[in-house]
Structure 1
Amino acid sequence: MAQFGLENDISNTLKLDVPITNAPIARWQRKASSSNMSMNGLSPGKSVNVSQNSSKTPGRTPGRMRKATPTRMIGGDRFIPVRNTKQMEMASFLLTKDNQPKDANTSAAALEQQKALSMALNGCNIEEARILQFSAKPAALPDGQHSALKALYNQTVTPMSNKKTRCISSTPDRILDAPQIKNDFYLNLLDWNCKNTMAVALHNSVYLWDASKGNITHLMTMEQETDYVSSLSWSKDGSYISIGTSDCAVQLWDVEQEKCLRSMASHSARVCSMSWNQHILSSGSRSGQIHHHDVRVADHHIFTLKGHSQEVCGLKWSPDGRYLASGGNDNTVCIWPRVSQGRGEVSTPVRSWDLHKGAVKALAWCPWQSNILASGGGSTDCHIRVWNVTSGACLSSLDTQSQVTALLFAPNYKELVSAHGYADNSVMIWKYPSLTKVADLRGHEDRILNLAMSPDFSTIASVAADETIRLWRSFEEDPSKKPKEARSLRTALCQSIR
């Protein structure tokens, strides 16, 4: 109702109690007089008494119009802006809020509540509302320049106005063959190291593909035809690769010499997940146990983690090396602390979450927030959940309507990449942390098993049960923002892949 009171005040202020005697004749009165003279057969030059209220200056030509000045806008010539109800209420509040008495006993909680209500109802904090507000400060005047308007209107455009739309290709940049890839949800058969070499396990053999040169190297083949490779993991420096097998062993290979350095036997079932933390190699098996191996010493098995009742199919160390995340076929996610020294067993994790309703194989740590973990559930769950390891809270949850087989964070654009099996068989890109879909990359004819990311974070590789590896160049940075060295490396990689 405040707008009606304001309109009445304005109307009463502008209301005239007596007519203006020396004012010019209104346009509608002149038109009426001209039409009356035409109907009565009178010429415009004759004197006619038009109205008692219409006075004219003697000697002025009848019918000649005088140009009104802006200071004499009255009646129909006055411009009244049209404002909606919300604007009128806001104006009334801003005019009266400074005159209202302030309560000194108002608590901070009450002020926060008022601010929240203002944000919900008005879309802004009413205490900070302004009629006009600059989005940025005007530029400083250059030396010898005295025109403030020139400095104001010669500002450079903001980065938002220069932002270009990012185009993500829906087709893969390259397709590689992966014959005899084992179609098993619980295995981890693909990894890409910091030296731009991709490793893939095809049944009982391991092959290396140099993405810079395009060369393919056959690294090893197991002796028994019935055995198979169940997991792969590169060391952080890219010089060594660990290979988990179905015969309960963990092999350590020197890639440059193509030589098996040692075979570590400690598990009682197949090794389907592995992760490195400096010289500590962690491996998870179908027995539900996680073993820590110190690869520097002969007695490599130093710790056993017992927190899962079924197969450990997901295993990831955090970027800072403080926590180890594990996911199992028992639908749980566990967080384990770093082992500083000693030997023994640990049966109580730091965190344990059981919100997933399916096997948790997909795990990914956020590179720019070391305490953030993303996990994905199997075909009976289909959810992506984001956790805060420090507080133990589930920050967000997304139902993808499809089996989640792998997760990766893309630091170039701060996005989350997920691979899916039944029934989408696609790679999806999500904006983090809102988890709004950015792209849906389709092309695989069967479920995707694993994901891997290139060392420059521009390309992701997906291997699927259709026996193909597809490279998706979806995160290439703006060339203007890259240093020259990175630009030349990216060009060499692009030429070799294509």
Structure 2
Amino acid sequence: MSRMLPDRAPAHTVSWHPSRDLIALGTVLGNVHLLNKRLVLLRSVCVFPDPLCGVSKLAFSRDGSLLACGGLGGSVVVWDWERDTTRSDEVDTRSTVTSLSWHPWRRSMLAVGSLAGDVIIMDFSQRFITQAKYRGKLGYSADVTALSFSPKTAELVVAFNSKGATQIAVLTDLTTVVDRLEEHEDPVNYLCWSPDGTTLATAGSDNVMCLWNFMGAKKTRELKREALREAREARSGIGRRFGCVIR
């Protein structure tokens, strides 16, 4: 079974609905198409009108009512596909969105990672955005190559790469590292949880797959927080931004 999409543009990302036979597909032209398992096109929306800002990542919320859309240009849009409405809280990392992850039990909370080293926590119910930019040990820029909330603990697992150094950090918040998963030598592009949420699979450019027992003991260590400031924005509500160094 196959189907040619309406805009005939290369697809960049696909996401399955968590409980229904629906598939979302994002293209390089900034369009998102919703299809059923018979590949019947149900709905389409242009989330990024700029022709240079295609869709890089898609992620359904836990209940499947919302679809987060990350862009090659760094923007994030959330599509309420049932009501056919979109919203954006002026999040713009100015670099490709590499990963999206919904909080396991807070319906309105979304984590975003970018190639510019940004990790953003968006809470749509409170119109609150927290953004941190991470750097390597010597101040080099860091890429966030993947991130994912633990379905059991809601800790945020973030894979970083900076000047050839790769690290997977487990965060309880954007400045507190409670564990490090150190085995990979090259960028980690994929984080995938087992169905029971206790084991994490990681894989990347070094041709290595690792399985981690995520319910083991944790180490606690604080990140250095720099340039903490708070800003109020008319459309986004309260925003909080700071810089951190991964060590």
Normalised to the residue count of structure 2, the TM-score between the two structures is: 0.75
- Deviation readout 1:427-452 (Å, 9 max, x if unpaired): 110014x6411122222221111111
Determine whether 1:291 maps to 2:33. yes
- The CA distance in 1 between the partners of 2:162 and 2:29, in whole Å, is 26
Determine whether 1:325 maps to 2:68. yes
Instruction: Assess if the C-alpha contact under 8 Å between 2:26 and 2:56 holds in 1.
Output: yes
Determine whether 1:265 maps to 2:4. yes
Determine whether 1:367 maps to 2:104. yes
Q: What amino acid does structure 2 have at the position aligned with 1:349? A: T
The alignment partner of 1:411 has SS state of coil
* 1:388 alignment partner, one of 120, 123, 129: 123
Q: Map 1:185-196 to 2 at 5 A.
A: none
- The CA distance in 2 between the partners of 1:400 and 1:330, in whole Å, is 19
- The CA distance in 1 between the partners of 2:55 and 2:121, in whole Å, is 20
Give the superposition deviation at 1:314.
Answer: 0.9
* 1:279 alignment partner, one of 13, 18, 21: 21
Query: Which residue does 1:334 correspond to in 2?
Result: 77
Structure 2: segments with no counterpart, 5+ residues: 136-141, 218-247
- The CA distance in 1 between the partners of 2:161 and 2:9, in whole Å, is 25
- The CA distance in 2 between the partners of 1:313 and 1:290, in whole Å, is 11
The alignment partner of 1:430 has SS state of strand
Instruction: Assess if the C-alpha contact under 8 Å between 1:336 and 1:351 holds in 2.
Output: no
Instruction: Assess if the C-alpha contact under 8 Å between 1:426 and 1:442 holds in 2.
Output: yes
Kindly, what percent of the aligned residue pairs are identical? 26
Query: Which residue does 2:131 correspond to in 1?
Result: 397
Determine whether 1:440 maps to 2:180. yes
Q: Map 1:130-149 to 2 at 5 A.
A: none
Q: Map 1:73-472 to 2 at 5 A.
A: 262-266=1-5, 267-277=7-17, 278-296=20-38, 300-308=40-48, 309=50, 310-339=53-82, 349-378=86-115, 381-394=116-129, 396-401=130-135, 402-423=142-163, 424-432=165-173, 435-472=175-212
Give the superposition deviation at 1:303.
Answer: 1.4
Instruction: Assess if the C-alpha contact under 8 Å between 2:59 and 2:101 holds in 1.
Output: yes
Query: Which residue does 2:220 correspond to in 1?
Result: none
- Deviation readout 1:246-285 (Å, 9 max, x if unpaired): xxxxxxxxxxxxxxxx223205232221112212210112
Q: Report the CA distance shift for 1:274/1:476 in structure 2 as closer, same or farther (over 3 A).
A: farther
Query: Which residue does 1:60 correspond to in 2?
Result: none
- Deviation readout 1:10-66 (Å, 9 max, x if unpaired): xxxxxxxxxxxxxxxxxxxxxxxxxxxxxxxxxxxxxxxxxxxxxxxxxxxxxxxxx
- The CA distance in 1 between the partners of 2:206 and 2:178, in whole Å, is 25
- Deviation readout 1:284-317 (Å, 9 max, x if unpaired): 1222211111224x6x112111122322111001
- The CA distance in 2 between the partners of 1:476 and 1:440, in whole Å, is 12
- The CA distance in 2 between the partners of 1:264 and 1:422, in whole Å, is 40
The alignment partner of 1:421 has SS state of strand
- Deviation readout 1:127-151 (Å, 9 max, x if unpaired): xxxxxxxxxxxxxxxxxxxxxxxxx
- Deviation readout 1:68-117 (Å, 9 max, x if unpaired): xxxxxxxxxxxxxxxxxxxxxxxxxxxxxxxxxxxxxxxxxxxxxxxxxx
The structure whose Rg is larger is 1
- The CA distance in 2 between the partners of 1:317 and 1:406, in whole Å, is 16
Greater helix share, 1 or 2? Answer: 1
Q: What amino acid does structure 1 have at the position aligned with 2:3? A: M
Instruction: Assess if the C-alpha contact under 8 Å between 2:30 and 2:55 holds in 1.
Output: yes
Q: Report the CA distance shift for 1:337/1:352 in structure 2 as closer, same or farther (over 3 A).
A: same
Q: What amino acid does structure 2 have at the position aligned with 1:430? A: L
Greater strand share, 1 or 2? Answer: 2
Instruction: Assess if the C-alpha contact under 8 Å between 2:47 and 2:69 holds in 1.
Output: no
Q: Report the CA distance shift for 1:435/1:414 in structure 2 as closer, same or farther (over 3 A).
A: farther
Instruction: Assess if the C-alpha contact under 8 Å between 1:366 and 1:409 holds in 2.
Output: yes
- The CA distance in 2 between the partners of 1:414 and 1:354, in whole Å, is 22
- Deviation readout 1:182-231 (Å, 9 max, x if unpaired): xxxxxxxxxxxxxxxxxxxxxxxxxxxxxxxxxxxxxxxxxxxxxxxxxx
- Structure possessing the higher relative contact order (Cα contacts under 8 Å, 6 or more residues apart): 2
- The CA distance in 2 between the partners of 1:319 and 1:417, in whole Å, is 17
Instruction: Assess if the C-alpha contact under 8 Å between 1:458 and 1:476 holds in 2.
Output: no
Q: What amino acid does structure 1 have at the position aligned with 2:153? A: Y
Structure 1: segments with no counterpart, 5+ residues: 1-261, 341-345, 478-498
- The CA distance in 2 between the partners of 1:398 and 1:354, in whole Å, is 12
Superposition CA RMSD, Å? 2.1
Q: What amino acid does structure 1 have at the position aligned with 2:79? A: W
Q: What amino acid does structure 2 have at the position aligned with 1:398? A: A
Q: What amino acid does structure 2 have at the position aligned with 1:410? A: S
Instruction: Assess if the C-alpha contact under 8 Å between 1:351 and 1:392 holds in 2.
Output: no
- The CA distance in 1 between the partners of 2:123 and 2:47, in whole Å, is 20
- The CA distance in 1 between the partners of 2:166 and 2:55, in whole Å, is 23
